[in-house]
Amino acid sequence: MNKPPVTSKNIKITKSLYTAWISGFFFPLHEKLKKHTSVIMRRQLEESQWWDNARLQDLQLTKLRDFLIHVQTHVLYYRHLFLEIGFDPVNVHSLADLTSLPFLTKSVIRRNIGGLKSDSARYLTRYNTGGSSGEPLVFFIGKGRTSHDIAAKWRATRWWGVDIGDPEIVIWGSPIELGAQDRLRNLRDRMMRTKLLPAFEMSEQKIDGFLAEIRAKRPRMLFGYPSALSHIARYAKTHGIRMDDLGIQAAFVTSERLYDDQRQQISTVFNCPVANGYGGRDAGFIAHECPEGGMHISAEDIIVEIIDAQGTPLPPGESGEIVVTHLATHDFPFIRYKTGDMGILHDKPCACGRGLPLIREIQGRSTDFVVAQDGTVMHGLALIYILRDLPQIEAFKIIQESLNETHIYLVTKTTLDQQVRLQIERAFKARLGHAVTIVIKQVAHIPAEKSGKFRYVVSKVADR
């Protein structure tokens, strides 16, 4: 059963009444109550996506200048920095002026967490991420930025002929405990017809259950890590479980590098196109793929630079580190933020006709699966989460050497005491098996891979 290839032209949003109600009424109300401006923002983004490059750059420049003036007035860290280097945002007349500002790194954020908060910020939410470099990072997000990220994701969802409110299966990490907050969220998810399946543990029995749930729900969209979706797809294929007759319109993947064989596998088994997204909690909703295959930058609020190892900006076509300025981060600015990911800017227009600039070949976002002693395959995040919330740990890397032995490399502020070591060991054994040897090694720093990429979980057991 093969469908014709999906393009922006032949996509029709065939919405059910229920989806129209969720997308047009319930979700906008939800957003309003949360003090988000994503509804109006999405409408604006759906217009500006068709603007040409020059007009989009004009918009970026105006927004950049206003943003930097706000930051100068309200953010202590930048007020001092601008004074120190003699930078006045009023004089910003081209996007290139941005390059006179230093990069924002994770260690700068760590050292200046208080000074980076705007004195006019209200409703800041604290986040904690492993980030793509594997170093835990705490930072804050305000309503303006959340609204942008929701609106940009919403717009990208609609590129694929689906909308908020359409039945969706999400395969993702999930909190273990259910608090009152989560019960509310569950209710909202039921209204929005979103069902979460936890990706941490993927025993055969669990995957059988997942496949049965997907068959029963007949979602119009899937959302998950590429590694998780392709793992499930491969299992379905090997066991002859048919998943291509469910009417799934698109499989959205994000958070990791998407490999060609994964795309192929997901697309064949679920009989739908795979839509790749790039971004993170830290850097925001940076780019998303359209049906023609272009990875479009959310350029209305995100300026992407590619830099070489010396920090010099590179022209389109050359590979370097992705640096992001998020223009909706007034409350906790991300200006020239080094993502640690590698990519290439692309200056050709996309066949879909959208003027949003393109980025290609995003590399360096691998989180692998690990395998427990009893054969349970689980997402590497299950182990990352153990380490990332410990305040003593500055950086880490986990290497699963064999089914019987896993090594943890830690960079810590002080020598780890025995209690914390035991705590880590116990948590790892709970996931990998009680007979597994856990070796904890404290090191001065953690080197990158030969390729220059950084992976915080490497399994020599799991095939990808």
Q: Which is nearer to Zn ion, 201 or 292 (CB)?
A: 292
Contact 322/67 with Cβ under 8 angstroms?
no
How far apart (Å, rounded) are the C-alpha atoms in residues 43 and 182?
29
In angstroms, give the least distance from the CB of 358 to Zn ion. Answer: 7
Going by DSSP bridges, is the β-strand pair 377-379/319-326 parallel, antiparallel, or unpaired?
Answer: unpaired
Q: How far apart are the first and last CA of the chain?
A: 28
Closer residue to Zn ion in complex, CB, 67/160: 160
Tell me the C-alpha distance between 227 and 251, whole Å. Answer: 12
Beta-bridge mates of residue 304: 324
For the bound state, the minimum distance from the C-beta of residue 445 to Zn ion, rounded and expressed in Å, comes to: 40
Smallest distance from Zn ion to CB 290, Å: 3
Can you give the binding site for Zn ion, defined by CB under 5 A? 290, 292, 294, 350, 352, 354
- Least distance (Å) from Zn ion to the CB of residue 249? 17
Cα–Cα dist 24/83, whole Å? 47
Smaller CB separation from Zn ion, 142 or 294: 294
Give helix then strand counts, H and E, for the chain.
13, 20
Shortest reach from residue 357's CB to Zn ion, in Å: 10
**In the complex, minimum distance from the CB of residue 315 to Zn ion, in angstroms, rounded to a whole number:** 21
Q: How far is the CB of 218 from Zn ion (least distance, A)?
A: 28
Distance CA 158, CA 46 (A): 10
- What is the rounded distance in angstroms from the CA atom of residue 441 to the CA atom of residue 423? 15
d(CA 294, CA 315): 18
Name the residue among 225, 213, 217, 218 with its Cα closest to residue 174.
225
Cα–Cα distance measured from residue 127 to residue 280, given in angstroms and rounded to the nearest whole number? 11
Q: Which two tokens stand for residue 379?
A: 């997402």
The neighbour count for residue 437, using CB atoms within 10 Å, is: 13
Residue 390 CA neighbour count, 13 Å, CB half = 23
Shortest distance (Å) from residue 294 CB to Zn ion: 3
Cβ–Cβ < 8 Å for 281, 287: no
Nearest CA to 410 out of 441, 439, 437 is that of: 441
Q: Least distance in Å: CB of 319 to Zn ion?
A: 21
Where residue 298 falls (left for φ over 0; alpha for ψ -120 to 50; beta otherwise) is beta
